[in-house]
Structure 1
Amino acid sequence: MAIDLGRIEALATDQASLKAAAGLAKPGKWFGVGGSADGALIWGECAGSGANPYRVMADLRDLGNKCTCPSRKFPCKHVLALLWLNAEAVVTFAPGEIPAWVGDWLGRRRGASAAPAGAAAKPASDAPKDLRAAQRAEPEAPEDPKAAARREALAAKRSEDTERAILDSLDALEQWIGDQLRMGLSAFIDDATARCRRIAARLVDGKAAALAGRIDELPARLLGQPAGDRPRAAVVELGKLVLLARAFRSAPRDADIRRAVASSENRETVLASSDTVRVTGLWEVLAEQVQTRRDGLVSQTTWLLNLGPQSPRFAMLLDYFPASAGRRTSAFTPGERFRGEVAFFPGRNPLRGLLLQRAADGSDTQAWPEAAADLAEALTAPLHAEPWVLDIPVLLPRGRVAIDAAGQGWWRPADATTALPLAEGVEGLIRGTELTRAAALWSGNRLAILAAQTPWGRIGADG
């Protein structure tokens, strides 16, 4: 049986599917590729975003196909890529025994009349019918122990390959950092955007996507500093990257470290773990931060404060969506309170969470919890545990914001012990007002106030 690119093009639902398939039509993305002795059936497994690969199969006699991915397109990009591999003989579809999962699918198709060999692809208007068939609930057959063992072996190999790729990319990162220091911080700051973009691309290729995103945003963080502070900030940022790279080498399975370098656990993994910390109670929305990233995504961060009697507990809800989708309506309003349950991602100091339940609460009399008795300890302890973190939420005691002669904003505690510089200028009511409590983010050298309580009510950072 033979198929050409013209038929694949006709089979695709849109141009975007063809483009995505082209990116997958590479030998390195597939394993277990094979075909039936008569050449009518082809199959293969393609690594996806989950722990298990997607199983893809196609019948070249009538171009019937199946993929285990959750795509709503029929055929999906994985099917198109498999057909593409076959059409251009990119890989060898060695004749072999039909896998059980292909046989099960073929058996379910036998009731339908097959189109003759060489029939044209179904027009796009037939897609809804095929989509419903692809989404039909199917009983799962008992799992073959040998197949399960093979799957576990493949998963272990993929994990090993991923870890090796990450380690190689971290080697490249440390070499890059050394190069920046040798060439001088001034040159690095002036050309930070282009230089960071190049190493970030290398990290993406090495499966260190989270670290790549952090480096891609590094120039913006540097430019957000006063000009005189940028060299110091660059040294701190690069130093944190070295610490994170070396921490990964020593403990690649550590949840905090892996989340900062590669990717975070999915929702299902967090909720299924017996070690997941869950906190139920009254929460207040402190602030929302929306940032358009260089990779075309918008990060939407919502900061919550638990109003229980325990020491201050913060929660960070993090969501991403494409910038092309436009500004999304927020599900939260700064200052609102609700009763809910938050499940936290694992870590030494759990912070990122998932909101599981939410119910409106009319209470507006519950006070914020007491600030930490030792402010210096609250600011430095998280850095001792994870010196590469960017922001630490902290609840400040009674104090006020003041402006010095140079226009720099400072938070000053009521006891006039240690003043802390603010990350940016402050305007409005928060400037000069007595703050009975203030929730802020500490970057290691500057504060960014999220919200504050005053003797006459709550105010946001913008006053």
Structure 2
Amino acid sequence: MALTTASIEQTAPDQASLKAAAKLLSPAKWPERLISADDGLIWGACQGSGANPYRVVVDLSDLGAKCSCPSRKFPCKHALALMLLYGEGADDFLPGTVPDWVTEWLGRRRKTDTVPKDEIIGTGKSLADALKDDIPVPVDAKTQAQREAAKQKRAAATRQAITDGMADLERWIADQLRTGLSDLLGDLTPRCRRIAARLVDAKAGTLAARIDGIPARVLGLPQGDRADAVIAELGKLVILSRAWGDGVAADPSVRREITGAEPRDALLANTETVRQTGLWEVLATREETRRDNLIARSTWLLALDGGHRFALLQDFFPASTGRQGAAFSLGEQFHAEMAFYPSAHPLRAQIVERRPREGLRHWPEISPATDVLKSFAAALAHEPWLLELPILLPQGRVAEAGSTPWWSGDHDTALPLLSETVDLSLCGAEIQSAAVLWNGHRASLLAAQTNLGRFHADG
């Protein structure tokens, strides 16, 4: 079905939605645009401010639409933008197999006779007006200088607030060690919450969320591991605090750990951003509800054809909107260009462009003699505040020793595993390769390639 400007204008809920959709017409914001074999459906992935793009589908027979964004407008700006892109050039949409999430939506929805008629006019909504650039208000040199001075003053105040917060954090750590680890572990959750709240006031929200997560990470370990784990957590916080004091401008990874990541547009505009194009597999997705009422979603990807071995996509959305549909399926493989955030050990990334792939490729081969912890040690040498790192393990087996499951390699190498990430069916299976998150104490199994097929741990 051909889409006309009039039909899209009629479908839009209001002029504001059309204007918002007009700002999403850049191909860079759409890493994926596809069309069904019968030309009846179009769907795609629209990159928002988070790591995981929104999934959008439009039924061309009646312009029914579905999007994973939390907007209450229907259709939302992402669906309208997908219609506009299709109207501008259907040839830019690649043929694709209808994915399961689209099929499920089709099965639930009821067709309606809502196809806009081109002869309907006078809707009060105009794409031409939406595409008009806002006329900038002239700013004189004096006003511009005042704005720049105010901006620098705010930035200086923020830096000072964070610096004061780091000093407060180090005093808090010293107090915890002075009173003893036993008292700290017995009162870990409320103590961490109190210092985290102070760091939020100090403009260090990302660091506050990290400290809020300490009780879950430490108390989830066996009793005998907790003292060492909490010492490691506090030590990494001191190192991070000192790194801030030694010169934040020189290390963007320090800022990222304390105040948050730079915007996507800034990342893509940076000429020094490391990019990697290739085939990727979705290993695992983890979600965590934070105390600031945000749900943090982490998606781990494995590179199947060289370059940086792993990529981490992180997204955040309000808990009040409910669980959002996953942007990826476990085990899914796709071609994509990744842009990695600046770091001495690049890992966190954003998808620049994404294309589907049919069939599955095996994981890269890992020599049985590989030093599995070498990459972890190398990363800590550059960024000692890291909490965990993905590692690809060579051939081995999973076995239980007492109540603890272990991965055991062929060269007398073994790593203890977090039991909640291990399916007992893996015990005895021939593991050709496994991807884990190693935190220095235990490994969380993300996925494994076995003689029984692929295994992916639940998020």
Q: What is the TM-score of this pair, normalised by structure 2?
A: 0.68
Matched, 1:454 2:455: no
How far is the alpha carbon of 1:149 from its aligned partner? 2.8
1:200 paired residue among 196, 201, 205 = 196
Matched, 1:265 2:259: no
Which SS does the other structure have where 2:292 is aligned? coil
- Look up the match of 2:61: none
2:320 paired residue among 291, 299, 324 = 324
Q: Distance in 1 between matches of 2:397 and 2:387?
A: 24
How far is the alpha carbon of 1:143 from its aligned partner? 4.5
Matched, 1:358 2:370: no
Task: Report matched runs for 1:39-438 at 5 Å.
Answer: 137-253=133-249, 254-310=251-307, 313-370=309-366, 373-404=370-401, 406-416=402-412, 418-425=413-420, 426-438=422-434
Against the structure 1 CA distance between its residues 278 and 137, is the aligned structure 2 distance closer, same or farther, given a 3 Å change threshold?
same
Q: Distance in 2 between matches of 1:219 and 1:383?
A: 22
Q: Distance in 2 between matches of 1:358 and 1:167?
A: 40
How far is the alpha carbon of 1:246 from its aligned partner? 0.6
How far is the alpha carbon of 1:320 from its aligned partner? 0.8
How far is the alpha carbon of 1:369 from its aligned partner? 4.9
**Residues 397 and 438, structure 1, Cα contact 8 Å, conserved in 2:** yes
Counting aligned pairs with the same residue, the percent is: 48
How far is the alpha carbon of 1:363 from its aligned partner? 3.1
Return the letter of the residue paired with 1:295.
D
Q: Distance in 1 between matches of 2:423 and 2:319?
A: 29
Gapped regions of structure 1 (runs ≥ 5): 1-71, 73-127
Bigger Rg, structure 1 or 2: 1
Which SS does the other structure have where 1:436 is aligned? strand
Against the structure 1 CA distance between its residues 145 and 432, is the aligned structure 2 distance closer, same or farther, given a 3 Å change threshold?
farther
Query: How many residues are aligned here?
Result: 334
Return the letter of the residue paired with 2:381.
H
Which SS does the other structure have where 1:346 is aligned? coil
Q: Distance in 2 between matches of 1:294 and 1:423?
A: 24
Q: Distance in 2 between matches of 1:389 and 1:352?
A: 12
Against the structure 1 CA distance between its residues 200 and 419, is the aligned structure 2 distance closer, same or farther, given a 3 Å change threshold?
same
Against the structure 1 CA distance between its residues 212 and 458, is the aligned structure 2 distance closer, same or farther, given a 3 Å change threshold?
same
Q: Distance in 1 between matches of 2:363 and 2:133?
A: 51
Against the structure 1 CA distance between its residues 374 and 413, is the aligned structure 2 distance closer, same or farther, given a 3 Å change threshold?
same
Q: Which 10-residue stretch deviates more, 322-331 or 281-290?
A: 322-331
Gapped regions of structure 2 (runs ≥ 5): 1-71, 73-123
- Look up the match of 2:38: none
How far is the alpha carbon of 1:192 from its aligned partner? 1.1
- Look up the match of 2:58: none
Q: Distance in 2 between matches of 1:351 and 1:258?
A: 15
Return the letter of the residue paired with 1:334.
L
Residues 192-243 of structure 1 show CA distances to partners (whole Å, capped at 9, x for unaligned) of 1111111111101111111101011111111111112111111111111111
Q: Distance in 2 between matches of 1:171 and 1:379?
A: 29
Residues 123-172 of structure 1 show CA distances to partners (whole Å, capped at 9, x for unaligned) of xxxxx99xxx9998531245433333333222222211111100101111
How far is the alpha carbon of 1:280 from its aligned partner? 1.2
Q: Distance in 2 between matches of 1:183 and 1:338?
A: 52
Which SS does the other structure have where 2:248 is aligned? coil
**Residues 285 and 298, structure 2, Cα contact 8 Å, conserved in 1:** yes
**Residues 229 and 441, structure 2, Cα contact 8 Å, conserved in 1:** no
Return the letter of the residue paired with 2:290.
R
Return the letter of the residue paired with 2:292.
D
**Residues 429 and 451, structure 2, Cα contact 8 Å, conserved in 1:** no
**Residues 399 and 413, structure 1, Cα contact 8 Å, conserved in 2:** yes
Q: Distance in 1 between matches of 2:130 and 2:181?
A: 56
Q: Distance in 1 between matches of 2:457 and 2:152?
A: 48
Against the structure 1 CA distance between its residues 279 and 245, is the aligned structure 2 distance closer, same or farther, given a 3 Å change threshold?
same
**Residues 225 and 441, structure 2, Cα contact 8 Å, conserved in 1:** no
Against the structure 1 CA distance between its residues 448 and 137, is the aligned structure 2 distance closer, same or farther, given a 3 Å change threshold?
same
How far is the alpha carbon of 1:368 from its aligned partner? 2.7
Against the structure 1 CA distance between its residues 369 and 152, is the aligned structure 2 distance closer, same or farther, given a 3 Å change threshold?
farther
Against the structure 1 CA distance between its residues 398 and 366, is the aligned structure 2 distance closer, same or farther, given a 3 Å change threshold?
closer
**Residues 398 and 413, structure 1, Cα contact 8 Å, conserved in 2:** yes
How far is the alpha carbon of 1:339 from its aligned partner? 0.9
How far is the alpha carbon of 1:414 from its aligned partner? 1.4
Residues 314-359 of structure 1 show CA distances to partners (whole Å, capped at 9, x for unaligned) of 1111111111211111111110111111111111111111112222
Q: What is the TM-score of this pair, normalised by structure 1?
A: 0.68
How far is the alpha carbon of 1:188 from its aligned partner? 1.0
RMSD of Structure 2 on Structure 1 (CA): 2.7
